[in-house]
Amino acid sequence: MHSPLFEQIYAECSKLEQYLEEARQFCDLGKVADYIPELTHANCSMIGLSLLDTNNKNIQLGEYSIPFTLQSISKVLTLILALMDHGEDVVFEYVGMEPTGDVYNSMLKLELVPPGKPFNPLINAGAIVITSLIKGDTPALKYERISNFVKELCGRTNISYNEKVYASEKLTADRNRSLAYFLKDVGVLKGNVDEHLDVYFKQCAIEVTCHDLSRIGMLLANQGVDPITKKEIFPARYAQIASTFMVTCGMYNESGEFAIQVGFPAKSGVSGGIIGFVPHQFGIGVIGPALNDKGNSIGGLHLLKQISKQFKLSIF
């Protein structure tokens, strides 16, 4: 389908270049994530952007081709896969539907509301439970299914996880380990905690580019259907559920401000990636490893704010 909005952005691409260079200045105000030591090697002043519309028309700027790890962006993808594996009734027995307003790795609310069910699938506690639900008789088979799903979403087969980032997180993940053992204690997480965490660390370490994120965003924008092949990659209902969580919880305790300043579904990761999309129009992928104090890309946020304001992209 022809998108006049995308054509307008395409025609005014020089504005995007200007916003990208402005966003680069903001990177100095942020800091790369250091609780996963391997992430500190990222180039702090890197900014990349990719937009992909449902006609396969692309805009790519800055360091758009540099690979980075999915981190929390993977949570949206495993949520969709768990929904495809079990349906929504089962999935929502394990995780709730409400934002927390807390940081992503907080354990605060787990004890506040019995029986310790994580508030939503995008905080770490909820995402670890979602990973445990992915079908597969062994951790290796679970990871293989996640990896195959990511390959299908990205439309390419040469996708793998970054061994160093995976090992680095595994060595230092005391917070996630404590969340997971708490969840096991209250009976929400079943089975072998270390095996579930191992799959979770691998999914977080899967490497993608801005183009990959814009393609996944485009599929969400198109309700799960590949517009070129017409194949349904995931059901429209699950696109709707994932999109709603992206709006309410995608930027953690900055989701409200993001909804007001940018106004479309998005999800961030501590590697500095952000995936977003404008419904029925196009997907967006951004990288900018310098983060603000909420764990969101500081340059990426500036860039998305400017683009949304200029081209009136808010859905609200």
72 binds ligand DON (CB under 6 A): yes
Active site includes 45?
A: no
Indicate the length of the chain as a whole number. Answer: 316
Cβ proximity to ligand DON: between 305 and 309 the closer is 305
Q: How many residues bind ligand DON (CB under 6 A)?
A: 12
Instruction: Show the binding pattern over residues 124-143: x = contacts ligand DON (CB under 6 A), - = does not.
Output: x-------------------
Residues facing 283 on adjacent strands? 52, 277
Residue 119 in contact with ligand DON, rule: CB under 6 A: no
Q: How far apart are CA 245 and CA 312, in angstroms?
A: 22
Among 150, 157, 111, CA closest to 134: 150
Question: Is residue 201 classed exposed, middle or buried when 0-12, 13-18 and 19+ CB atoms within 10 A define those classes?
Answer: buried
Q: How far is the CB of 281 from ligand DON (least distance, A)?
A: 25
274 binds ligand DON (CB under 6 A): no
Interatomic CA distance for residues 92 and 95, integer angstroms? 5
Among 100, 120, 176, 308, binds ligand DON (CB under 6 A): 176
Instruction: Give the tokens for residue 220.
Output: 């969400």
Taking CB under 6 A as the binding criterion, the range among 7-15, 224-232, 266-274, 306-314 that sits at the site for ligand DON is 266-274
Residue 255 interacts with ligand DON (CB under 6 A)?
no
Q: Residue 12 Cβ, how far from ligand DON at the closest point, in Å? A: 30
* Catalytic residue status for 135: no
Distance CA 115, CA 185 (A): 10
| Dihedral sign, Cα of residue 128, residue 92, residue 251, residue 149 | positive
**Does 270 engage in binding with ligand DON (CB under 6 A)?**
yes
75 is catalytic: yes
Element (H, E) at 68: strand 68-69
Distance CA 304, CA 16 (A): 10
Which region holds residue 280: left if phi is over 0, alpha if psi is between -120 and 50, else beta?
left
Provide the token pair at 18. 């200007």
Q: Least distance in Å: CB of 268 to ligand DON? A: 5
* 71 interacts with ligand DON by CB under 6 A: yes
Least Å from the CB of residue 33 to ligand DON:
8
Told to check if 295 binds ligand DON by CB under 6 A, we report yes
Binding site for ligand DON (CB under 6 A): 71-72, 104-105, 124, 169, 176, 204, 268-270, 295
Residues catalogued as catalytic:
72, 75, 200, 252, 270
